[in-house]
Amino acid sequence: MIAATALALVFALELKAVVSTDIKCLTEAIYFEARGEEVSGQIAVANVVKNRTKSYNKTYCDVVHQKGQFSYYWDKISNKYKDKAAFMQARTLARSLIENKIPDNTNGAVFFKKKGVRSAAFKKLKHTMRLGNHDFYAV
């Protein structure tokens, strides 16, 4: 009985660590990719990350740290949180999205780009919406 209880505790702690790591990674994506957007735009960027976790069976960190996918992670510019209010909002949104308290507002998008950026890769994708300074795309 003690072994089962100990195993359950270890599992719970490991699950909490994974969720905490997911929240951290999603928070950074929201903050660095969309902090200047309205809340709906921040949620849309977060939903793209979440949609990728489901589509590609990856963790939130796998998705946001995938080579060449999220500019803030690969642009070699310092990524320090300088706006505490924006960070707190990003973290709250990340937690709520991971806990399934926020619905997908992107129509299943798994990609987004800044409005006006041209890329041939996006021509093959389905444009699902424009929100703020971003266009969103599904496969």
Q: How confident is the model at residue 130 (pLDDT cuts 50, 70, 90)?
A: very high
**pTM, 2 dp:** 0.82
Whole-number Cα distances in Å, 115 to 19, 74, 77, 111, 134: 32, 20, 21, 13, 5
**Percent of all residues in the chain with a pLDDT value above 70, rounded to a whole number:** 85
Residue 19 one-letter amino acid: V
Beta strand ranges found along the chain (DSSP E) = 111-114, 126-131, 134-138
pLDDT in tens, 17-64: 545 899 999 999 999 999 999 999 999 999 999 999 999 999 999 999
The pLDDT score that the predictor gives to residue 15 is 47
More confident residue, 14 or 60: 60
pLDDT of 68 above 50:
yes
pLDDT of 80 above 60:
yes
The pLDDT score that the predictor gives to residue 62 is 94
